[in-house]
Amino acid sequence: MDLSFGNFGPDSDSQHMTEVTDFTIQEDIQLEKTYECEACKKKFSIKNDLTRHMRAHTGEKPYECGTCKKKFGSLVSLNEHMRMHTGEKLHECEVCKKKFPSKYRLARHMRSHSGEKPYECEVCEKKISTKCNLAIHMRTHAGEKLHECDVCEKKFPWKYRFARHMRTHTGEKLNECETCIKKFSWLLSLNEHMRMHTGEKLHECEVCKKKFPSKYGLTRHMKSHNGEKQYECEVCEKKFSTNDNLAIHMRTHTGENQHECDVCEKKFPWKYILAMHMRTHTGEKLYECETCKKKFGWFMSLNEHMRMHTGEKLHECEVCKKKFPSKYGLARHMRSHNGEKPYECEVCEKKYSTKSNLAIHLRTHTGEKPYECNMCKKNISSKFSLGQHMRTHNGEKPYECEACKKEFSRKSSLTRHMKTHAGEKL
């Protein structure tokens, strides 16, 4: 029996492999797009791709967002949508460096640079930059608005937008900030709010370069440049730049302050502001500076304090251009220009520019001296006075007369000494 399988030498083997490879390529070409859509005749090489494509015709959307209930035809689309809630942005515009949660949104944004409007209305030939906006526009011709609010009769083209709108009437707020207990109707709003605590500021004003943690904050700030006040009180006709400020103002007419402090009976319009206020009574300080271990009741206060260590000074005096790390520091400094002294002693009616100076002054009436010298055990009324007193022990004299070079331990002593040089050219 002849069991020969022919010549399997190098040349034959190479020829055989070429034939197999050629056959495989031909087979791939023949099977490249074997699945055809019966509706539009578009072809696909993978059956799953055809199944996914068919949903564009049937309208089937089997994947639902657990947060806002919006539905999607593919899992990929749902995953990209979820980044809208988490705030994750993987795709960056090469022109302006703005980031987006999906390739689709980046592509749509790029049209703002290129001016491209690839979608045209078949009725009026108007060109639109996005398919979504075209769909909305088409309903202006059809008069179609499927979802109507029973409360205000406003209409919405999509169910998920309708559901989101209804929260403005029900007051439902599912998303709570773990830091300050404030609640929000949407996760996106919570994410933007969290930047108030972390200090992250993504949105910059093109006019003054000031940065804000949210688009809303930036939009509200822009009204300070254009003077826009579109929200008017129906009672006294006073106008406000934001809806929030109008809502706060309206409570001056209604007397509505829902949340009362059990300690001092002060009332607050929101629960989260009451929660922050309560820390002034309990002394609770949750936020600690890693550098000096000083503690604060609010994260924002910690952020402003940290600038004392970093040297960052964002707040500038318009009069003398001196800069300060916090708004409070600037406000306190401004009193040196306008002479304002808002803090008055109830005992002798003497006035002070800062609350801390009033507190020190009050010790002259109470006799309280909370600071003790480690050297001689003398009790002192203020930290500043203790620092001055310590110079009597260590001999430090930081104040020098420019005329005679004599040194003094206190600035007041130098000022008094300078009068002895009156009439001299210093």
HSE of 295, CA atoms in CB hemisphere, 13 A: 7
Q: Which fold has domain 175-279?
A: Double Stranded RNA Binding Domain (3.30.160)
DSSP one-letter code for 297: S
Report field, pTM of the whole predicted structure over 0.75: no
Res 31: pLDDT: 53
HSE of 253, CA atoms in CB hemisphere, 13 A: 11
On average, the pLDDT of the chain sits at 79
Res 119: pLDDT: 86
Please state, in angstroms and rounded to a whole number, the distance separating the CA atoms of residues 163 and 64.
Answer: 14
For 89-137, the pLDDT digits (tens) are 888 888 878 888 788 788 888 887 888 888 888 888 888 887 777 877 7
Res 348: pLDDT: 92
- If DSSP codes are grouped into helix, strand and coil, which group holds residue 19? helix
Please state, in angstroms and rounded to a whole number, the distance separating the CA atoms of residues 220 and 197.
Answer: 19
Q: What is the DSSP string of 208-252?
A: T--EESSHHHHHHHHHHHH----EE-TTT--EESSHHHHHHHHHH
For 242-260, the pLDDT digits (tens) are 777 787 777 767 766 677 8
For 253-309, the pLDDT digits (tens) are 776 667 788 888 888 777 777 888 888 888 888 888 888 888 888 777 888 888 888
Q: Tell me the sheet residues that pair with 240.
A: 231
pLDDT (average), residues 149-164: 77
Q: What is the DSSP string of 395-414?
A: ----EE-TTT--EESSHHHH
pLDDT tier, 20 (very low <50, low <70, confident <90, very high otherwise): very low
For 305-340, the pLDDT digits (tens) are 888 888 888 888 989 989 888 888 888 899 889 988
Considering only residues 362 and 328, tell me which one the structure prediction assigns the higher pLDDT. 362
pLDDT (average), residues 53-59: 83
What is the identity of the amino acid at 233? Answer: C
Domain boundaries, the chain: 175-279
Res 376: pLDDT: 93
